[in-house]
Amino acid sequence: MKIGPKFKIAKRLGAPIFEKTQTQKFALSEARAGKRRKGRPGAMTDYKRQLIEKQKMRFSYGISERQLRRYVDEAIAHGHQPITLLIGRLESRLDNVVYRLGLAKTRRLARQMVSHGHITVNGRRLTIPSHKVDIGDTVAVREGSRASGLFTTIVDDHESAGVPHWLSFDLKKLSGEKKSEPTYEPSETLFDPQQILEFYSR
């Protein structure tokens, strides 16, 4: 998915949704912009607020409008806790699991790894980033890809503390397993899922 100028998008949405904007430079830029905006009149409409939250979610996971709409519709149709279901589906995407395991520094790189055939699920190579990883599935670096420059420094660079509780990871095997369903933690997200559900319910 072609995104565009990440710094400008992040500034427009008011959140560091891309890895390259999660820097002190961006934070200082936002602080200065906040001071300039302080005196501007007019309150944000509900529609605009919901639209911004939707875009934050979409760009955070690097998915298309059509994909997000499908995930939202599925979450609303299949349970009493649509927010938990929506976050669970997004987090269970294969590209996101690769990112969460620490095999890639960004979701975009994780998506490329999957698309180029470097990742297996239960021993089978998959090239579909949106594939849903289920509980008990094993996600690993393909044997023939372990000598690739993408993975040669991972033993030294990997941050095991960053692997979420619903995943387990074996650094020696470059393999991880989904142990449980992801949970929604408001403090760990840059967007408000409730606003997104309301946007699509209009």
Q: How confident is the model at residue 24 (pLDDT cuts 50, 70, 90)?
A: low
Do 105 and 83 lie in a common domain? no
Q: What whole-number distance in Å separates Cα of residue 201 and Cα of residue 70?
A: 13
Strand order in the sheet with 124-125: 124-125, 119-121, 138-141, 175-178, 167-170
Which domain CATH number covers 74?
1.10.1050.10
Task: Answer whether residue 160 is part of any domain.
Answer: yes
State the amino acid at position 6 in one-letter form.
Answer: K
pLDDT at 4: 53
- Which is nearest to 107 in space by CA: 116, 119, 98? 98
Which domain CATH number covers 126?
3.10.290.10
Domain range holding 78?
6-89+192-200
Q: What total of structural domains would you count in the chain?
A: 2
pLDDT at 115: 97
pLDDT tens digits for range 95-137? 999 999 999 999 999 999 999 999 999 999 999 999 999 999 9
Per-residue pLDDT averaged across 22-34, rounded? Answer: 54
Do 66 and 123 lie in a common domain? no
Task: Answer whether residue 70 is part of any domain.
Answer: yes
pLDDT at 15: 65
Q: What whole-number distance in Å separates Cα of residue 76 and Cα of residue 79?
A: 6
Q: How confident is the model at residue 159 (pLDDT cuts 50, 70, 90)?
A: confident
pLDDT tens digits for range 38-95? 555 457 899 999 999 999 999 999 999 999 999 999 999 987 899 999 999 999 999 9
Q: What whole-number distance in Å separates Cα of residue 93 and Cα of residue 61?
A: 9
Query: Looking at the chain, how many residues does it have?
Result: 202
